[in-house]
Amino acid sequence: LTTAATAAGLSAAGPKLFALVAVGMFIISGHQALHSMTHSTKEQTLNASARHEGNKTWIPNVDRLEFGRGQDNQFIAALAATLKAMGKQTPYHELMGFSAAAFRFQFFIPEFCPSSPDLLLTFDHAEPALSAVGLRAECIETIAMSDDQCRALRNQIAQSIEAGRPVVAENLMGRGSYGIVTGYVEPDKQFLCRTYRDRSDDYATATDWPSKLCLIDGPTAAPSRSESAIRSLRIAVELATTDRTDWNGRSQASGFAAFEKWRDELRNDARLDALDTQTLAYSAAANGWIHYALLDARRSAVQFLHAVADELNPSAGPHLTAAAQTYQAIVAKLEAASTHVAIPWIADAAPDRWSKNDRHAQAALVDEVLTLERQAIAQIEQALAACATLPANVVRDADRTLITNAERLRRDPQRTNAFFIAMETALKTMGEDAQYDDLMGHSAYAFRIQFHPDRWCDSPPCPICGSDSAAAALAAFGFRQTTCMAEDEHSPDADAARKTIAAEINDGRPVIALFEDWGLIVGYSDAGRQFLRLNDTDAASQTAIAQKWPWLTMMLERTGAKPQRRQTIARSLKLAAEQMRTPNVAGFLSGDAAWRQWIAELTNAQRLAAMDASALADAARCNRCTLDSLIDARQAAVRYLQSIAADTDPETSTHLRSAIASYQELLTILTDATRHLPAPNQPWTAEMRQAQAETLRQAPDLDTRAVSQLEKALNAMTEP
């Protein structure tokens, strides 16, 4: 291309296209080339890399940036030239791979934008690339900087040059192109640079202030190549499965969702046909940049995967080789699509080479590419799974990963709380001697009662609603929990939940999960798309594929040494008293207030009479849930206190045994109240409700009396 011919063509296409093609780095704006400074006899060496002559300081031997070398990602090409000048020569395809740029694809919402492939937007690809070679960097955006901040940054850049570190920067010679700051000229530190617009081997004087730049620092400890490769593959999966990222008030579709958005926009005839010639040409050129950037990235992916396939776990190699072959098939599809894509650096190609038929043909190929992309990422996930170092209690068989030492969930009439059954099994799997009664007691759930303040509800008995009994139970064993919520398998948080659960299983840690009831996830298959639940003791097999999505999951993490048992017991008795004396906990009535509200609701004839059959049946279910959970809790309280009373001082034991007697009397009342529950498919009559309420009249006082004895026991335990 000649400068005059290109400029004339661009002027005819309009200012938007002119600016866009400038992004392509093929427009040569007038600038003053400096005399070559690499052979001066007057130069003074500042250090091993930077040189000084007169008012100029520069780093010699920074390669020119040129298209046509199979290195079309401007940022990575500039980074490769920078590292070479610093003595850390790294192949372009390896930087593309280690940075995960080789696997990236994003598309600005809602339309075609030439900035979609920019590696410093929405995700910092510089950091993993530089980490792989033992360096670190600070990526800076300058648009919102004040004059003082810009002056300070100019001095930082000069210091980097003096230290022998070129600076990768954007927009040094006009909008939209990455280049390299290679030196500066005093008195005002005017930058010298390499860009794709260089007309000679000499450095040019920058005409513009950079909008983004990458200041390299270091050195730092470099991870092994295999560690860097594994990290890049994990980023590849993350980017592919992240639907959307936000940046500076704009949003980009990412990964699979970006391909879908690109395909749909290519088929959006209503919008594209309504564009004027200039805007359509802009969109056509932007589409070209997106297409050719993707083609370059996937070519690099092929090279990178072949390069690292033999450097990772041997069982991962075949999966990486298969992924490389899939990416090669993607390259072939993209090359075929090139016949339907406007060449963005040719000014008159955009309007003539992007017809509706071209767009639809390209969209069809993008659809095929998307299918292959899903296949490639699945193969990378298989490679990552093969690379994982599994603990002794985890096995991987074909597509299934399973924790092998988890006992089946043991339920019986004396152990009915599904949450604490799951927690007991999880902690035992992780090497703790956890017992159901201890978990119920240490958490003070055994002494708890909660009720909703104004309606029938089955949430109050849940151990993580209101008073957080889960945290107290885990703290007694030196653990804490992290929860993850995803409403269903299609929700925005579902992919993150899958990854978190798979990571826990890989580390040998079961995951407590809320399906229709609490259960335990002990494995996964299909790269985390299916979960393996632990079955009860009466099931035919140890595990089963979960048929429902776990909308809440709980991961357990060690925090350190567990507290002394005496300390844990004292804490549980204190919690028991607090729960009874505190009328409201996180929106639920607690203790005596909960008892009174429950009995009042049983006799609230006006509210119950206004319910239809369905609502009344649901109220009956909530009532049964409250009663059943309370019986199980107080049974556990009796057993827990008996174990403590047998191993404590006489005074404390006396108070504990008095509390036990009150709880046993309370259990007699609660068990008697079950006689007034409706049988399955039987209506819940007013007579039943009244009889249950009368049966429960003495229960609050007995519960309060028991807690008073627990407080006395606590005082006896803590006396000097």
The strand pairing partners of 545, in sequence order, are 532
Tell me if residue 138 falls in helix, strand or coil: strand
State the Cα–Cα distance between residues 202 and 61, nearest whole angstrom: 10
- Cα(499)–Cα(241) distance, integer angstroms: 10
Among 661, 633, 657, residue whose Cα is nearest residue 647 = 657
Q: Is residue 233 pLDDT above 50, yes or no?
A: yes
Angstrom distance (rounded) from CA 212 to CA 140: 6
Tens digits of per-residue pLDDT, 382-398? 999 888 777 888 887 76
- Among 249, 258, 280, 482, residue whose Cα is nearest residue 377: 258
pLDDT at 642 over 90: yes
- What whole-number percentage of the chain has pLDDT above 70? 91
**35 has a pLDDT exceeding 70:** no
Place 45 in a pLDDT band, splitting at 50, 70 and 90.
Answer: very low
Angle at alpha carbon of residue 544, lines to 542 and 549, rounded to 5°: 140
Phi and psi dihedrals of 377, rounded to 5? -65, -40
Overall residue count recorded for the chain in this entry: 720
Higher pLDDT, 441 or 5: 441
Look up residue 409 and give its DSSP letter: B
Predicted pLDDT of residue 349: 52
- 175 pLDDT band, cuts 50/70/90, is confident
Contacts of 397 (CB under 8 A, 6+ apart): none
pLDDT at 440 over 90: yes
**Which residues are CB-contacts of 719 (< 8 A; sequence separation ≥ 6)?**
none
pLDDT of residue 352: 62
Q: Does the pLDDT at position 26 exceed 60? A: no
Report yes or no: 33 and 199 within 8 Å, Cβ to Cβ.
yes
pLDDT at residue 24 tops 70: no
User: What is residue 316's DSSP assignment?
Assistant: T
209 pLDDT higher than 80:
yes
CA angle 427, 429, 435 (to 5 degrees): 45
Whether the upstream peptide bond of residue 219 has omega within 30° of 0, thus cis, is yes
> CB under 8 Å to 512, separation ≥6 — which residues?
419, 422, 423, 426, 481, 518, 519, 520, 521, 553, 554, 556
Domain boundaries, the chain: 33-78+139-217, 227-387, 391-428+480-560, 565-718
pLDDT of residue 32: 30
Give CA torsion, residues 111, 116, 121, 122, to 10 deg.
60
Secondary element (H or E) of residue 485? strand 479-485
* Mean pLDDT on 204-214: 94
3-state secondary structure 6-41: HHHHHHHHCHHHHHHHHHCCCCCCCCCECCCCCCCC
- Segment 25-35 shows an average pLDDT of 29
Cβ contacts of 535 within 8 Å, gap of 6 or more: 408, 409, 541, 542, 543, 544
Segment 158-165 shows an average pLDDT of 94
The pLDDT of residue 174: 82
Q: Is the predicted pLDDT of residue 243 greater than 50, yes or no?
A: yes
Phi, psi dihedral angles at 402 (to 5 degrees): -140, 135
Rounded distance between C-alpha atoms, residue 596 and residue 577, angstroms: 17
Other beta carbons within 10 Å of 559: 11
- What number is the average pLDDT over the span 268-275? 94
For residue 30, give every residue at least 6 positions away whose Cβ sits within 8 Å of its Cβ, in sequence order, or none: none
423: tokens are: 């927690």
**Mean pLDDT to the nearest integer, 81-103:** 95
6 has a pLDDT exceeding 60: no
Mean pLDDT of 170-199: 91
Q: Helices 277-308 and 356-387 sit at what angle, rounded to 10 degrees? A: 30
Contacts of residue 253, Cβ cutoff 8 Å, sequence gap at least 6 = 106, 107, 108, 109, 243, 244, 260, 261, 262
Please state, rounded to an integer, the average pLDDT across all residues of the chain: 88
Q: Which amino acid is at 593?
A: A
pLDDT in the model for residue 120: 79
- The answer to whether the beta carbons of residues 562 and 549 sit under 8 Å apart is no
- pLDDT tens-place string over residues 568-583: 999 999 999 999 999 9
Q: Can you tell me the distance from the alpha carbon of 99 to that of 123, in angstroms, rounded to the nearest whole number?
A: 10
Which of 20-24, 346-350, 423-427 is predicted most confidently? 423-427
| Res 346: pLDDT | 66
Q: How far is CA 276 from CA 13, 264, 360, 420, in A?
A: 11, 20, 19, 65
Q: Of residues 223 and 268, which shows the higher confidence score? A: 268
pLDDT reported for residue 22: 32
SS3 of 402, please? strand
- Quick one: which of 403, 392, 444 has its CA closest to 425? 403
Question: Does 716 have pLDDT greater than 60?
Answer: yes
pLDDT at 9: 33
Quick: pLDDT tens for 406-426. Answer: 999 988 899 999 999 999 999
Report the 10 Å Cβ neighbour count for 690.
14
Using CA of residue 82, residue 84, residue 90, residue 94, what is the dihedral sign? positive
Question: For the residues 586-596, what does the mean pLDDT come to?
Answer: 96
Number of helices followed by number of strands (H, E) in the chain:
24, 23
For residue 454, give the 3-state DSSP assignment.
coil
Q: Model confidence over 540-559: pLDDT tens digits?
A: 788 999 999 999 999 999 98
- Residues 234-261, mean pLDDT to the nearest whole number: 89
pLDDT of residue 47: 43
For the entire predicted model, the pTM comes to 0.55
